[in-house]
Amino acid sequence: MTSESEKAKLQEAAALLQHARTAVAFTGAGISVPSGIPDFRSPGGLWTKYDPFEVASAHALDHNPRKVWEFMLETVDLLGRSQPNPGHLALADLETNSRLSGVITQNIDNLHQRAGSRLVVEYHGNFQRFYCHGCLRECPEQEVMDHCSRSIPVYCPSCGGLVRPDVVFFGEAIPAQAHQHSLELIQAADVLIIVGTSGEVAPANVLPRQVKLSGGKIIEVNLGQTHYADITDIRFDASAEQVLPQLAAMVLE
């Protein structure tokens, strides 16, 4: 049951969204945990089993592509078993009803799109897309998976270069288009919903501060302490799957 104080916060947050000129959501791993995808850094996450430098870095791509592909296949399997949860669906409902302009996500799991969100900026890429590291040819997912059933790593049939997922590995820059699109949304936003991200990962963690510097309001839905305490206006210390459906219902009532 929602307490009176939490209900009051929900009503306050709903009012901000109802009167916002441009509201944007900024999401991280926490929103996908209820979908069965552990935060990579948390207990049970992939970084407790793998050293990210050895399996998810530019150096690893060049020096140990087979180990990279072993890690990628486990990740693809994990993401393939996941489904959008009520938090994803609530954000999609807000967008469908013109109360949310879009989502900037640090996640690579494709769950926002599967939930029905249309404008999703993938700041760190998408694990269901692949391309050749050499000639940059796009490689269809089914073609890549068929090759994996025979051998790994996967090489490009056109140039022989290494095929890789379209995600940002450690040591790589954020794609210019994703960064620019994020900045455009952030600069237009007068309300930002931060969901499931503690603000540890740069340069994504700077984006919410731009909204605050421009006079916008910050709604935060996060479990535990984060690096956004100094800029948050309304904070819910609870899971996204619990808060977002209640918030969306109030906004759309």
pLDDT of residue 110 exceeding 90: yes
Select which of 124, 133, 147, 181 is catalytic.
Answer: 124
Tens of pLDDT, residue by residue over 22-81, are 999 999 999 999 999 887 666 666 667 778 889 889 899 999 999 999 988 888 888 889
Residue 88 designated active-site = no
Weakest-pLDDT range from 38-47, 191-200, 205-214, 233-242: 38-47
* Cα 241 to chain centroid, rounded: 15
Set out the domains of the chain in order of their start, with CATH numbers: 1-37+85-124+174-253 (3.40.50.1220), 38-81+127-167 (3.30.1600.10)
- Please report, as a single letter, which amino acid is at residue 183: L
Q: How far is CA 116 from CA 14, 38, 74, 102, 218, in A?
A: 21, 22, 26, 11, 24
Is the pTM value of this prediction over 0.85? yes
Helix (H) or strand (E) holding 99: none
Give me the pLDDT at residue 40, please.
Answer: 64
Average pLDDT, the chain: 93
Neighbours of 5 (CB within 10 A): 8
Give me the pLDDT at residue 241, please.
Answer: 96
pLDDT of residue 1 exceeding 60: no
Alpha helices in 20-157 (DSSP H): 52-55, 58-63, 65-80, 86-96, 111-115, 141-148
Tens of pLDDT, residue by residue over 140-198, are 999 999 988 889 999 999 999 999 999 999 889 999 999 999 999 999 999 999 999 99
